[in-house]
């Protein structure tokens, strides 16, 4: 299966089989398709709009990854009393919001 690796700053990091890898892949493929069409427009000297569609597709993929991370890794960490994971989640959210 596909693996999504989320680095938490620790040497081990979390590796989990992403439950929604197909959904993430589809959203990223959509973003790549949008970027390709923008690139062709630039090469042809046409107005290259469409960046909001790319950003939306990438953000949606990120949202699915974050949701999966929260459901699996954060729940385990809280059960085990590993509060540092919450700091890492905040960093991950900030990274997606930039």
Question: Is 80 strand, coil or helix?
Answer: coil
Q: Measure the CA–CA gap between 36 and 41, rounded to whole angstroms.
A: 9
State pTM to two decimals. 0.59
Contact 15, 5 (CB under 8 A): yes
pLDDT at 4: 53
pLDDT tens-place string over residues 45-90: 888 777 888 888 888 888 888 888 788 777 788 888 888 887 888 8
Cross-strand pairs, 16? 4
């Amino acid at each position: 299966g596909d693996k999504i690796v989320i680095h938490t700053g620790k040497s081990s990091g979390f590796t989990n089989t992403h439950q929604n890898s197909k959904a993430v892949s589809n959203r990223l493929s959509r973003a790549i398709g949008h970027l390709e069409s923008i690139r062709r427009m630039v090469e042809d000297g046409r107005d290259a709009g469409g960046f909001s569609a790319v950003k939306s597709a990438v953000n949606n993929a990120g949202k699915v990854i974050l949701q999966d991370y929260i459901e699996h890794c954060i729940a385990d960490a809280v059960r085990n009393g590993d509060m540092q994971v919450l700091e890492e989640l905040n960093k991950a959210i900030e990274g997606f919001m930039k």
